Every structure is written in structure tokens, then in C-alpha cells.
Structure 1
Amino acid sequence: MRHCLYGILIGVTALASDVCAQVRCDLLEISRKAFDKNPTLVRSGLAIRSAEADLQIQRSTFDLNSFSELLFQNNQYRLPGADPRNALLENSILRNNALNLSGGLRKRLRTGQLTEFSLNYGFANNNYPVNSFNQPIGLYLGNNTSTINFSLTQPLLRGKGRVITTALERANSLYVLNAKSGNEYTTSYEIWQIGLAYWNYYTAFKSLEIYKQSESRIRNVLSVTEELVKGDKKPAGDLIQVKSDLANQEKLTIMAQQDLYNARIQLGKVIGLSTEESLLIDVPENDFPTIAESAFRKGVDKADYIRIAKERRADLMAARHGHEALQQQFVLAQNNTKPQLDLTGFLAYGSASTGNRMGDVMASFSNNEGRNIGTGARLTFTFPVNNNWARGSLVKSQMALSDQNVVVNNIQRIIELDVNNDLNYLDNSVINLQKAEEVLNYTQDVFKDEQVKFQSGLTTILSLILFQERLTAAQLRYLQAYQQFARAIINLRHDTGTLVVPDNKGFVIDRNAFYTIPDTNNN
């Protein structure tokens, strides 16, 4: 059963290996693939578009708006019996027709004023054969009137000034920057996750190789032991011990196969691949970073890295943009608690003409008779007695601003803790890697000596098996120490905001982000 399961796992891995060339497992390539595949990154991009749409909506406050109206009206009025006009009307019915056409433009300026320009034309006639001057005229003789109006409204209290009028527009502009910075941090976080998953996948891949090498060494020991037993140089009982150790190693190899499968699925998950696509991931192409190429040096100034982090961390920038946006909304909320006092000045020009011809219609704009020019001003005062809405909104705005201030300070606090922890983790990982390499070199030499002694009959099979297990453990610890070092680099990159770099087309992901620590002089 054990051999059957072992064969199935090997078969699955072999099948995946046959077709996995379709998905190259290169760190930069799979990171770029995530921009199209990773749902979190896709949603983060949509959040930017949503914020930009909110800004566009807010800018509509200052759009130039046109308005128009067309009205036609017909009235029939039956005169009372005592009305003297009955003598001049047929069936004592006064018929009136009216046509009104108006149109104009309205715009709120960013300085706070509301402007309006309109043009109005009216046409009216009736079946009464006498005009207002008691002069006989024809039936349904039209009266044309035209008026041009202009008004300017200046807020004196609520809504006064550019700072107040454009507060929400500026706030939404800051929310766009907030969304972009949030997207940058989300991108850094997801690329960080991909980097960790890749190093885990690479470790699992190399671990499987180590277990296979260990299994091969045990098979060699078994072969040598069989020859020694045949030559009566070793007791037959030694074969049982070697076979037991081989069975145990085969079990460990099967477990390593499963670990590799899990690591491949996890890597596909953080990239955003489906199960089928994840199984097509090829063997890892990128080796661990070395200490020499990482530009690691002892005694780095933690303050420099904290400074870089506070300058570059996108989540801190997003929080600051959010804080500035809430400040704009707070200023507006303060202004909304004031009464509303508006001063409107207006200017009107109009003229009139009589007749049903087109020339009479045009004359209504320029006819000297009936010309009317008017100017005036209007003062409007609105005072909400309780003003609960404005006062409640002010309190909520103040609380939101205070809460966001806590968020900004907390992110700065966490940055300092994270960077300090990352640098300590990096120092320890370098020491651990150096020591693991020393142990591995010593263990390899000891195992070689033990093999020679065993073949010469100077040591026991148990001792050889023990040193073989020690060699395997040393190889695995060395591999894990390398993984720890690689994780330390990418952790520091993410926490200092130097893992990804935004540009006009999106983000730049450089190989150095996975292999070198940030340069405090040129990050």
C-alpha cells in the first residue's frame, strides 16, 4: 500500500512536470502575472476607478448647466352676463392662447457665487377685438414679449469662499490619492505573499531532492551491507536495520512529495491561479539570494530604515491622504453650522411688439416701444432654529478626523516595530545561515569518514545510519536557513515600502527587491 501511494504521488508530480512548462516559475514573471490574476489586486484597481468617479461626481457641482422650457396654453372663459365685453364677443366666450419659450445657463463658480443667464420669449393672443387702450384691433392679434435676465448670488455666511465651495472636491481628490496609495500597499502585500510562497515552494522542491539523495545514500549503504554480509564481514541483522531505515526514508520522501504539492497549490493561490493552472507551475527557476549579493552589512542604522519606511510606506501615505480629506470635510461641516445669508443682484432687459409676423417676433427683442430695463438686489436669510443636522454632522466629522489621526499614529508606531523586528530577524538569519553552512560542511566530512570506517569494519551500521540522518538533517537545516534569509530580505523590503515601485503604467517589480536589502542612500 505504501509503495502504491508513493507511486501515485510520483505519477502526479511527473504528470504535472510534463506540462508545467506552460507556467514558468520565475519570480518576476509570476509576480507580473498576479496583476491580471490576483482578485485582490483587481479589486484594488477597481477601487481607484470608483474614487475617480466620486471625484467626477463632485466636480459636477461646478458644471455649466443649461435649462429650457416650452409652454403652450389655451383658455376659454365664459363671461358673466353683466360683463360689458359680451357685446363684442361671440357666444360670450373669451378665448386666450399663450406660448412661452425660455432657456438659459446656470453655473456655480469655485469662488462660491451662483450665476444665471436666461432668455425668455412670450406670445399671447385672444379673440377680444379691442386692445388694452380700447382701440379696435383684429381677432387673435399677437403680443410678443422678450426678456434677457442675468443674476449673481453671493453667499455671505454659509458657503462663502473658495475654501468652502471646493472643500468636497479637494476631499475627493485626496480620496483618489488615498485609493492609489492603498492600491500600492495592497500590491506590495500581495507581491510579498507571492515571494514568501515562492521561497516556500523552492524550499519544498529542494527538500524533496535532499530526501531523494538521502534515500539513494541508504540504498548504497544497503548494497554495501549486502556485499559485506555475503563476505561474512557483517552480521545479517545489519540488513534488517538498513531496510528499516530505508522504509522510514521512503515515508519521508512521500511526505516531501505532499509538501511540494501543497506548496505549489499555495503559490498558485496567492498568484490568483485556478487549481488546474496551479498544477501547471514549473520547477522554480530562481535560487536563494546569497549574503554577498544581498549587500548585507552589520551595524546598519535602524533610524535610516525607519525614515525610509515613513517616506515610502504606501499605507501610511494613504492614511495621511485620508486625514487631509477628513480635514477638508471638517472645515465644511463647521461652515454648515452657520446661517445662510445670500445677496443676489440681477439685471433684466426686455421689449415688446405687436403682430403675428416673424418680423414682429424679432422686433420684440429690439423694439423701442415697450422697452424695459430693470436692476435690483435681493437678500435672503435662512436660519435653522435647532440645526441638529449641521451640529450632528460636525460632531461626526470631528470624531472621524480624530479616529483617522489615531490610525496615522498607529501605522507609524507599527512601522517602527516592524522595521526593528525585520532588521533583528535579518541579522539572526545571516548568523543562522553561516552556522548552518559550517555544520553542513562538518557533517559531510564526518559522514564520508564514517563510510570508509564502515567498509573497513571499524564502525557499526547503527553509527553509519546515525551520521547519514545527521547529514540529511544538516542539509535540511541549511536549506531552511537560506529560506529564513530570503524571507528576511523580502520582509524588510515590504515593511520599508521598497518592494514595488509605482510608475505611469502601474508598478515596477525589480529582481533586486527579492535579492538585496534596501539601500539607505538610494532606495
Structure 2
Amino acid sequence: MRNYFLFCILFISYNLLYSQAKIKCDLIEVSSIAFNKNPTIRSANYSIQNAEANLQLQKSIFDFNLNSDVTFQNRKYNLFDADPRNDFVDKTLRNNSFDFSIGSQKRLRTGQSIDIVLKYNYNNTNFPYNAFNELVGSFYGNHSSTLNLVLTQPLLRGRGAKIVTASEKASAFYINKSKYDYEFANSFEIEQIGIAYWDYYTAYKSLSIYTQNENRVREVLNMTTELVKADKKPLSDLDQVNADLRNQERLTVVAKQNLYNSRINLGRVIGLIDEESQRLDIPINDFPTVLESGYNEIIDKNALIKIAKSKRGDVKAIGEEYKALELQYLVATNNLKPQLNLSAFGFYGSASVGNGVDKSWSSLVNNQGQELGGGAKLSFSFPLNNNLAKGNYSIRKIALQNQTIINENIHRNIELNIDLAVNNLMNSVLILQKSKESFDFYQNAFKNEQIKFQSGLTTLLNLILFQERLTASELENLNAQQQFSNAILILRHETGTLISKEDLGFKITQNAFYTIPNTEN
């Protein structure tokens, strides 16, 4: 009894560990795993992040730039003997100076640029007289402060908010493009996962068919053995049945290999490693039926094309890229113009003399030595050949023209692909119906042939022939179901209705694998 309980505990523990090790092979489950595992999906997400980083680079044009510097100098100058200043200094003129400046520049999104700079200077010397020939003593401090403000307005190149912000807006369009490319890449990968899943399911069902066929051959072998014992069939029939059995066993081994290969391939498109792929459990989703798919013999292709052009991520992506290229072309056109800037400036300054920190601060507000002024400046620059601007203009113009061709080609291919997808869907329905009818007839024919064989009304060769036809018909019916399932997937992807974008990510529903797109909404 104790051994029995120990066996039960080990058996339950094994099943628990086995179930935990397996990966549930459900269409929604494996598709969800792909968003974290599939390398193509992960790589496309990095493209979005790269585009966002590029937008940050373009925004830097409008950043505040803060500049400052501090300079201290100590100078000695040996006077000539004839220099009258020798009477007041010991043959050496000493000078100390301290310079400090702080400024900020900013380019506005309206096109103008602003520069503001505050400068402070302090110097002293061992010569006891100042500039007014007043005796002030050695190393008497002189302070001066100046505040400058410059506003620059481009008149030709770089004029206008639309030109100045074009690169920034183009980068925003490229972010949208990357997101739509990511959406379409996800749809394609989910389509591939769906196709790989149906291939795995077909391989799984094929193995079952081959196993059943092998069992049927064994039944024929047993039946033939009994008939040989009863002298109703010749002994040579056993060789023929045994040969057929060995062939069916071979086909079963091949089916097992195909099942293994399709499991690994499904793991590959999901993004699983080898060890994870081998842990994929048996597929649990059955093929869609024609009835549940919502198939109608009259399919509105134009409605599907309209849906595709409004929903597909690649269509939206090229639209965003075209907008970005338009802005870049606009900037390139503007850069053909000369640089003509009008600057208005104003300045304010003051000075003070004496030593002490208070003299430094008063140098900006002291009435004596105060200076106030303003003015305007017109600057012009233009490279005579202007090859850089001309080259960029040609590049942007060609890119825009090429994008027009790309747009037209994508729309053209959408129409062609949907035409093919609809045609394949309609044909797959017909093939499925005919293969199902054929399979039903072969089932009845095989049963009748078995009865006739037992009665001695037909030959073993005929029985084997009908059995092989039954197996082939069952496999063809299975392949027809797979073809129909793939046709739904392909039509969904081509119309952009396989997955949907939600606020928190992408949504995949069971209906996307089982129903054709609804053209009535």
C-alpha cells in the first residue's frame, strides 16, 4: 500500500512539473508572447525610440544657450629710461585685470534670435595717476559693466516660423511613421505566427491521420491473416499487406518529423529559443469553418481596398513620411536664398572707480561714466556657387518625387494583393467543400470495400488502393482547411484588420483568425 501511495505521489508530481514546463499553444497566447520575444517586433520598437531621440535633437535648436567666461591677467612692462613714468614707479609698470561675462542666446520658433550679454571688467595698475591725470595712488581699481541686447530677424534665408520649425515638425512625422511601421510589422509577424500555427496544427492532425491509417492497415493484416487461416486468401497476400504496413509505418515516422519541424518553426517565428520551442504544447485551436467565418460568395473588393487604405500601418507610414519630406524640401528651397539678416541692438554701460566690492556692483548703475545707445545692422552673406544648397535642394526634390512613386506603388500593390487574397479565399472555400465531399465518399467506399473483401468479392489490392485513397483524401481535406485558414489570415493582414492599436498596446482577438473582415461598417 505504501508503495502504491508513493507511486501516486510521484505520478502527480511528474504531471505537475510536466504541465508547468509546457507552453500553452493557443493562438492568442503565442501571439502575445511574440510582442516580447519576436526580434523583428522588438527591433521595430527601437526605431520609434530612435525617431523620438531625433526629435529631441531638432528641439535643441530652440534651447537656451548659456555662455560665461572668467579671465584674470597679471602683466609687467619694463619702462624705457626716457619714459617719464619712471618718476612714479620703480621702472616696471604692473597691471592686473579681471574680466567676467555671462550671456544667453535663444532662437525663437518665429524665426528671430535673441542674444543678451553682460560684461564686467576690473583693472588696476601701480601707476598712481588715472586717465584724468589725477593722483589716486597705486593699484586704484577701475570698474566697467556693459549690458548688450541684440535681436536678429532673417529677411531671406531662414525667415518664417514654418521654415524654422520644419525640421522639428518633420521629426514628429518620422515618429508617427515609425509607429505605423511598427504596427504593420507587428501585423506581418502575427500573420506569420498564424500561418506557422496552422502548419503546426496540420502536422499534428496529419500525424493522427497517418497513425489511424497505420491502424487500418493492421486491421487489414489481421483480417487477411484470418482469411488465410480459413483458406479463403492465399498466403502471398500477407506479404503484400506487410509491405504496405511497413510503408505506412515509414509515413508515420515522416509525419512525426514534420510535427517536430513545424513546432520548432512556430517557436522560431514567435521568437522562442530552441529549448522553449520544444516545450510548445499540442495546438488547441481548431481550423475555422466556412460558416463561422462569415464568408459570403459576394465579396465587395472595393470596400476591402478602402478599408486597407484607411487602416494599414504602411499606408499611414508613407503618408507621414511624405509630409516630412515636403517640409525638408521646403527648407532646401529656402536655403537657396542669400543670408540677409537685420539686427537691432541696444547697449547700456557704466563705470566706477575705487577699491572694494561695492564699487564692483555700482559699476552698472553709477551715473558717472554711464553710456546708453542702440542701433541696427544689416548683414549679407552668400556663397557664389552655392553648391551645398543646390545639392541639398536636388536631393530633397528627388526624395519627394521618389516618395510619390512609392506611395502610388503601395496603393497599386494593395489593390493587387487584395484581389489575389479575395480570389484565394473564394477558391479555398470551393476546394474545402469539394475535398470534404470527396473525403465523405472515400470513407463510404472504403467501408464497402472492407465488407466486400471479407466476403471475398474483391481483391486485397483493391482494398489497399481504396485505403490509400481514403488517407490521401483525408490529408487533402486537412490541407484544404489549412489553406482556407491561411486565406483568412492573409486577407486580414492585407486589409490591416489582423491587429488593432489600443492605448496600452496592440490587441489581438480570436475573430481575427476565424472571420473575414466586415465590409458593412
Q: What TM-score range do you get, normalising by the shorter chain?
A: over 0.9
> What does 1:109-508 correspond to in 2, within 5 Å?
109-508=108-507
Cα displacement (A) at 1:80? 2.2
| Matched residue, 1:86 | 86
Secondary structure of the equivalent of 1:116? strand
**Rounded Cα–Cα distance in structure 1 between residues aligned with 2:215 and 2:68:** 90
**Rounded Cα–Cα distance in structure 2 between residues aligned with 1:136 and 1:33:** 88
| Matched residue, 2:6 | none
**Rounded Cα–Cα distance in structure 2 between residues aligned with 1:265 and 1:354:** 87
AA paired with 1:54? N
Asked if structure 2 preserves the Cα contact closer than 8 Å seen for 1:20 and 1:281, the reply is: no
Cα displacement (A) at 1:215? 0.3
Taking structure 2 as the reference length, the TM-score comes to: 0.95
**Rounded Cα–Cα distance in structure 1 between residues aligned with 2:494 and 2:338:** 49
Secondary structure of the equivalent of 2:290? coil
How far does the alpha carbon of each residue in 1:148-201 deviate from its partner, in whole angstroms, 9 at most, with x for none?
A: 221100000000001110111111111111111111111111111111111001
AA paired with 2:28? L
Secondary structure of the equivalent of 1:73? strand
Cα displacement (A) at 1:365? 1.8
AA paired with 2:61? T
**Rounded Cα–Cα distance in structure 1 between residues aligned with 2:76 and 2:316:** 71
Asked if structure 1 preserves the Cα contact closer than 8 Å seen for 2:300 and 2:519, the reply is: no
| Matched residue, 1:108 | 107
Cα displacement (A) at 1:292? 1.1
Cα displacement (A) at 1:96? 1.1
Percent identity over the alignment is: 51
Secondary structure of the equivalent of 1:293? helix
| Matched residue, 1:5 | none
**Rounded Cα–Cα distance in structure 2 between residues aligned with 1:282 and 1:22:** 6
| Matched residue, 1:35 | 35
**Rounded Cα–Cα distance in structure 2 between residues aligned with 1:181 and 1:318:** 5
Quote the RMSD (CA, aligned, Å).
1.4
**Structure 2 unaligned blocks of 5 or more:** 1-14
**Rounded Cα–Cα distance in structure 2 between residues aligned with 1:338 and 1:466:** 85
Asked if structure 2 preserves the Cα contact closer than 8 Å seen for 1:20 and 1:279, the reply is: no
Cα displacement (A) at 1:278? 1.1
**Structure 1 unaligned blocks of 5 or more:** 1-14
**Rounded Cα–Cα distance in structure 1 between residues aligned with 2:22 and 2:57:** 45
Cα displacement (A) at 1:521? 3.1
Cα displacement (A) at 1:20? 8.4
Cα displacement (A) at 1:21? 4.9
**Rounded Cα–Cα distance in structure 2 between residues aligned with 1:253 and 1:454:** 25
| Matched residue, 1:510 | 509
Taking structure 1 as the reference length, the TM-score comes to: 0.95
Count of matched residue positions in the alignment of Structure 1 and Structure 2: 506
Cα displacement (A) at 1:18? 5.7
Secondary structure of the equivalent of 1:315? helix
| Matched residue, 2:3 | none
**Rounded Cα–Cα distance in structure 2 between residues aligned with 1:347 and 1:378:** 11
Cα displacement (A) at 1:320? 1.7
Cα displacement (A) at 1:27? 0.8
AA paired with 1:30? V
Secondary structure of the equivalent of 2:293? coil
The worse-fitting range, judged by mean Cα deviation, of 360-369 and 410-419 is: 360-369
How far does the alpha carbon of each residue in 1:229-285 deviate from its partner, in whole angstroms, 9 at most, with x for none?
A: 111122212111111111111111111111111111111111111112111111101
AA paired with 2:202? T
**Rounded Cα–Cα distance in structure 2 between residues aligned with 1:416 and 1:23:** 39
**Rounded Cα–Cα distance in structure 2 between residues aligned with 1:111 and 1:73:** 42
How far does the alpha carbon of each residue in 1:30-85 deviate from its partner, in whole angstroms, 9 at most, with x for none?
A: 11111111111111111110110001001100011111111111111122222221
Secondary structure of the equivalent of 1:321? helix
| Matched residue, 2:53 | 53
Cα displacement (A) at 1:506? 2.0
AA paired with 1:304? A
Cα displacement (A) at 1:447? 1.1
